[in-house]
Chains A and B, each alone.
Chain A
């Protein structure tokens, strides 16, 4: 018993509150649209705005062939660096490619990198955090030291180094992003598990002989799904920024594949920067809208899943 009390991180007064995700799990059975979580979410104006922004972005990028009339890589020697017109909504670039089409298709790549990076990061972070929090002992010690090391490294510089070591490619990009960012998820999950594992239902499950694997998979992780979802949504924005920054210096997504970052990279040229703003401002605005949308959603979700914060 003494060991148990030692590892408690939160004071007991907080633990007596209905746990955030447990609440969500209860409401989920009534159907999503009747649930309290759904109503709470709709009450958050920024959250609704973010959902509309991201929804629109997803529809446009997924329906890319329908909303664009040119191939993103099709060149047109008669229409080089044309400013926006009714033919080419966002103008054309130095070799006559339609910028609207490139921004839309670039969005597919940027969102893909963000989504895959977040999924990989969440998987690594959840596994490490679960091991660390559930089993404790020296494993926990080693993993926590590793987490602290990750925190003192300057992340973007490490990312540059990793990509330079692995070679720039789409796959290496999201692997590197995930490998350098799992520690946040790990800390989050560990902290939650330290709280949840003291709950009575875990004790009950253990007392009827449920093994560790089943306790983790059936009783602990489903309870953390809300928190995991919040962490995923709040990370996507950061990942899209990282992808854009890396592609902007030429170490991310490689041309001719368009991504928002390497489209902005065209502004690296003083002439483009000064007199051809249609080449670099739209992809930049797209990044801002996208990241803003995900941050709005993430913040609203956090309010929904964390009753402590609402008070």
Chain B
């Protein structure tokens, strides 16, 4: 077991290395020279020329200003030195500043992450509840009408564009029926209480959750069918245990063992799915931030978010794999 864990942790480093290289490479592919549009607040005064005329004042960079800026930003160094510097800054939690509003990317991320987590965690819960429930039931009643309907539903959820689903839901439930708020996280001037925020969560969470449940329906169905054919289930049935006990004790638990791994591997898709939902529901989370950054070509913001999500996913996968090896020791010995 220890060797397995060490080997699994060791595997993370080459991947981490490639992630940072890809990120750094993309940032360098970005068109335009960063010095063209930046004037850091602490630029030395002697590099600016200020002229005052009848209309006010304007300032212009002096000769040699660009070289000075490049030197100050470290852009004159060879590329591997720049890479190491950037890596060092990342490890210090220094993700740079937004090119649009100069906000510190790390601080902003800390502010926005809880919003996205509220959306993704609750919708993951909905996905699991709906997906595992429908999947297991349709496996127990294989080839019944319920099974067929569930299959159609899973196909439908798989094929629905999330943003269109949310538009439809907003149109019907918020605009036509007026039951639920169309967007936002709280009512304007509301008490920001539990009910208020729940009401705002229903539409986006349901849409994201149902969309994500398709995969779980299929997983639960196949996994359950597979386990029901195992020898230990037949043994349990043979010794006369009631169906309920066989299903709950013997089949159910074994069938759902891989679920932790599956969830951890779905994390990137969850974050990716939050982009359009946050945009439509007008939630100030990570997803909408990345979208706005992509629209305004704010590279530091885009890169910082992607790398943080990638690393979080990597760590989640690691933990899930190790946890799974504890639950199912066969893994570690293969």
Contact = CB atoms under 8 A, between A and B. Distances in A.
A299 B156 CA distance: 13
Contact of B30 (A154, A163, A165, A292): A165
Contacts of A165: 26, 29-31
A251 B29 CA distance: 18
Range of interface residues on B (Cβ < 8 Å) = 35 or more
B257 interface: no
B295 A149 contact: no
A109 interface: no
Contacts of A153: 19, 268, 306, 309-310
Contacts of B31: 165
B161 A152 contact: no
The CB with the most chain B CB atoms within 10 A, among A146, A154, A155, is that of: A154
Secondary structure class of chain A's binding surface, majority of residues: helix
B15 A149 contact: yes
A46 B160 contact: no
Interface string B9-50: 000001100110010001001110000000000000000000
B73 interface: no
Contact of B306 (A161, A280, A295, A299): A161
Contacts of B106: none
B297 A164 contact: yes
A244 interface: yes
Contacts of B163: 244-245, 248, 264
B295 to A, nearest CB: 7
A160 B294 contact: yes
Contacts of B15: 145, 148-149, 152
B271 interface: yes
Interface of B is mostly: helix
A296 B26 CA distance: 37
Contact of B167 (A145, A237, A273): A273
Q: Give the interface residue-count category, chain A.
A: 35 or more
B265 A274 contact: no
A249 B276 contact: yes
A145 B276 contact: no
Interface in A189-227: none
A187 B305 CA distance: 27
Interface string A238-251: 00010011001111
Contacts of A1: none
Given A152-B310, A251-B294, A273-B167, A288 B273 contact: no
A148 B265 CA distance: 11
B155 interface: yes
Contacts of B171: 273-274, 277
Contacts of B170: 273
Contact of B168 (A274, A284, A291): A284
B158 interface: yes
B185 interface: no
A81 B19 CA distance: 48
A243 to B, nearest CB: 10
Contacts of B155: 46, 292, 295-296, 299
Contacts of B295: 164, 249-251
Tell which of A46, A164, A292, A299 has the most Cβ of chain B within 10 Å: A164
Which of B15, B26, B303, B313 has the most CB atoms of chain A within a 10 A radius of its CB?
B15
A162 to B, nearest CB: 8
Contacts of A154: 268-269, 271-272, 306, 309-310, 313
Contacts of B30: 165
Nearest to B152: A46
B92 interface: no
Nearest to A292: B159
A160 B175 CA distance: 30
Contacts of B232: none
B102 to A, nearest CB: 20
A281 B291 CA distance: 24
Contacts of A295: 155, 158-159
B251 interface: no
Interface string A268-290: 00000110010011001001100
A156 interface: yes
A238 B160 CA distance: 10
Residue among A146, A264, A284 with most chain B CB within 10 A: A284
A251 to B, nearest CB: 6
A288 B268 contact: no
A288 B294 CA distance: 26
17 contacts: A145-B14, A153-B310, A154-B306, A157-B275, A157-B305, A157-B306, A160-B291, A161-B303, A241-B161, A244-B161, A249-B295, A250-B295, A251-B294, A288-B159, A288-B161, A288-B164, A292-B156
Given A145-B14, A163-B294, A164-B295, 19 more contacts: A145-B15, A145-B18, A154-B271, A154-B306, A155-B272, A156-B275, A157-B272, A160-B302, A165-B30, A165-B31, A249-B276, A249-B279, A251-B294, A273-B170, A277-B171, A287-B164, A288-B159, A288-B164, A295-B159
